[in-house]
Amino acid sequence: MTPVRRTRPSASKRVHGEIQGNRRHAFDAVWEIVRRIPAGRLMTYGQISVLLGSRLSPVGVGWALHGCPEDVPWHRVVNASGGFSTDRLPDVPPGLQKALLKAEGVEVRLDGRVDLERYRWLP
């Protein structure tokens, strides 16, 4: 068995703190973009990732929205095919995102997706 090389605790804490700080700053940037999306309009996780200069992947954008403050309209962000990725999350009631978008006038097609050509917001 090969021994595991460990870093010194002080170095580990410093690096971990830098990662946490960078991620928090990137999450704040995601939230600011999403706060600007008008009611009845949408963006995709990938679109936000590109606006951030790819500091976060589309999955990272999803993580940012999963823990966002209450004033962030997370429901206005959909996946690249216009679908609802939040329906797979155990702590989000199925259909909640769809219901919130419908309340803003967004039409959901029979296949359960939204028309990105019609509803996509370009800041």
Compute mean pLDDT per 10 residues along the chain, 123 residues long, and list them. 39 38 80 98 97 92 93 97 86 88 97 96 94
Domain that holds residue 42: 9-119
Q: Let me know if residue 111 belongs to a domain.
A: yes
Q: Let me know if residue 2 belongs to a domain.
A: no
Q: Let me know if residue 1 belongs to a domain.
A: no
Q: Let me know if residue 56 belongs to a domain.
A: yes
* Its pTM surpasses 0.95: no
Q: Are 118 and 109 in contact (CB under 8 A)?
A: no
Q: Let me know if residue 4 belongs to a domain.
A: no
Domain count, the chain: 1
Q: Where are the alpha helices (DSSP H) in 1-72?
A: 9-35, 45-51, 58-66
Q: Let me know if residue 106 belongs to a domain.
A: yes
pLDDT of residue 17: 38
Q: Let me know if residue 3 belongs to a domain.
A: no
CATH at residue 72: 1.10.10.10
